[in-house]
């Protein structure tokens, strides 16, 4: 009896790890970006703790606010801009943030709600895919 339970638990663990592993390091395609990012609120993990929300609106607008993190002391706390897809990269350009410079990101899936981003300058970070906006 214990052998059967142990075998069943090992099989479940193997299937679970296999399913999670299927997501790991899977690069987002153009279609993935449209399906999983656009129309959603994305929460960027901030090194000092907390999350920074960005809204990727279906009309091509992106906006965000760092007010909850107290960013108003250091920079403009809110900004808007535009997003677009270039190949399999998500690109964005804000009005004020980053001096209005355009930037693109490769996205890799960590699991069904987490992703890793790599900016075209080599910077990396993680984010959480939130609810629809």
CA distance 39 to 17: 30
CA distance 40 to 93: 17
- Residue range 36-82, pLDDT digits in tens: 999 999 999 988 888 889 999 999 999 998 765 555 445 567 999 99
CA 80/CA 73 separation, integer angstroms? 18
Q: Mean pLDDT for the chain?
A: 83
Residue 17 has pLDDT above 60, yes or no: no
Nearest to 115 by CA among 127, 104, 130, 123: 127
Q: Which residue matches tokens 């007010």?
A: 67
Q: Is the pLDDT score of 20 beyond 60?
A: no
Q: Point out which residues pair with 100 in neighbouring strands.
A: none
Domains in the chain, please, with CATH? 26-132 (2.40.128)
Three-state DSSP at 25 gives: coil
- End-to-end CA separation in angstroms for the chain: 50
* pLDDT at residue number 117: 98
Beta bridge partners of 78: 65
Residue 89, SS3 per DSSP: strand
Whole-number pLDDT of residue 77: 75
Report the distance separating Cα 109 and Cα 116, nearest Å.
6
Tell me, what's the pLDDT at 48?
80
pLDDT at 67: 63
CA gap 86, 131 in Å, rounded: 24
Higher model confidence: residue 98 or residue 15? 98
Q: What confidence tens digit (pLDDT) does each residue in 73-124 have?
A: 455 679 999 999 999 999 999 999 999 999 999 999 999 999 999 999 999 9
């Amino acid at each position: 009896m214990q052998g059967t339970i142990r075998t069943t638990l090992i099989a479940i663990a193997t299937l679970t790890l296999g399913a999670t592993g299927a997501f790991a390091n899977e690069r987002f395609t153009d279609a993935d970006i449209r399906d999983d990012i656009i129309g959603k609120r994305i929460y960027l993990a901030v090194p000092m703790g907390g999350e920074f929300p960005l809204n990727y609106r279906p009309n091509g607008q992106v906006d965000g606010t760092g007010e909850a993190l107290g960013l108003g002391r250091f920079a403009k706390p809110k900004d808007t801009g535009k997003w677009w897809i270039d190949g399999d990269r998500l690109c964005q350009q804000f009005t004020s943030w980053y001096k209005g410079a355009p930037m693109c990101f490769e996205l890799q899936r960590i699991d069904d709600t987490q992703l890793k981003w790599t900016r075209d300058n080599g910077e990396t970070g993680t984010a959480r895919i939130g609810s629809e906006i």
